[in-house]
Amino acid sequence: MSQSSSPKKILVIDDDPILLEVLAEHLRDAGYQPATAEGGAAGIRCLYQTRPDLVVLDVMMPRMDGWETCARIREATDVPVIMLTAKGAPLDKLRGFRLGVDDYVTKPCDFAELLARINAVLRRTARPSPDALEIYTSGDLTVNISERRVTRARHPIALTPTEFRLLAALAQQQGRPLSHDQLLGAVWNPALHDDPHGVKRYIWYLRQKIEIDPANPQHILTERGYGYRLARD
């Protein structure tokens, strides 16, 4: 695995100390710098102390479960989150994606799969070089990818990390449409194929925030029978 000069820090939050030890060993062997926390409250403390590049988070934990832990993480940071859990029902996955997780891996899974998911999420969420200034406009909407900032008529719009990646993927196409499958590949892991309406749902979420009249969008336009595009100036 190709690594930068300093290894990426991966925080694993789970209530199983044996699993934490095993995952930490595998991550270290793969070239990452692991940190572990036993339970949600400890995980939040460790998040502030270590400032990880990615979090692997269990759902079924006592006291503060993974849902609450994820919500706390999202209040503080847009660090990528992969949920690793035995709860694999479609509704559980949708709940995770709504909370802003970047991928959802069901137990049991082998470490090679988890490592592939970690690598993929880190690639998708990598911040651009400071020299690569990327700013796109659509009417009064401005998408500053370099600074991860969106404004409409100069007023900031708060987006979840997933919503921002969806908007950025559309903006970077310079007005060309992206299909449902292309958006899945650019923004999510193919795990979202379990929900055929997932992209449409997130387009709806995004339109509620960036459109003056979401029922008559002026920015995110539907290409009937194909996908979506961002209107360009």
pLDDT, position 2:
42
Fold of 135-230: Arc Repressor Mutant, subunit A (1.10.10)
Res 128 pLDDT > 70:
no
Distance CA 15, CA 5 (A): 32
- Per CATH, the number for 9-124 is 3.40.50.2300
CA distance 96 to 81: 10
**pLDDT recorded at residue 10:** 97
Which H or E run contains 56? strand 54-57
Per-residue pLDDT, 104: 85
Mean pLDDT, to the nearest integer, of 177-188? Answer: 83
| Residue 33 confidence (pLDDT) above 50 | yes
Q: How confident is the model at residue 103 (pLDDT cuts 50, 70, 90)?
A: confident
Supply φ then ψ for residue 107, to 5 degrees: -80, 150
pLDDT digits (tens, 9 = 90+) for 149-172: 999 998 999 988 788 889 999 998
The pTM for the full model equals 0.64
Per residue in 220-231, pLDDT (tens digit) is 999 998 999 999
- Name the token pair of 19: 């699993």
Q: What is the pLDDT of residues 63-88, one digit of tens each?
A: 899 999 999 998 888 899 999 888 77
In eight-state DSSP terms, residue 215 is T
Mean pLDDT of the chain: 86
- For the four alpha carbons of 116, 120, 122 and 123, in that order, the dihedral sign comes to positive
Domain spans of the chain?
9-124, 135-230
For residue 196, the model assigns a pLDDT of 56
How far apart are the C-alpha atoms of 67 and 86, rounded to whole Å? 14
The answer to whether residue 183 scores a pLDDT higher than 70 is yes
Q: What is the pLDDT of residue 127?
A: 65
Burial (CB count within 10 angstroms: exposed 0-12, middle 13-18, buried 19+), residue 57: buried
The widest CA-to-CA distance across the chain, in whole angstroms, is: 55
Which contacts qualify for 202-206: CB closer than 8 Å, 24 or more apart? 202/97, 202/162, 202/163, 202/166, 203/166, 203/228, 205/163, 206/159, 206/163, 206/166, 206/167
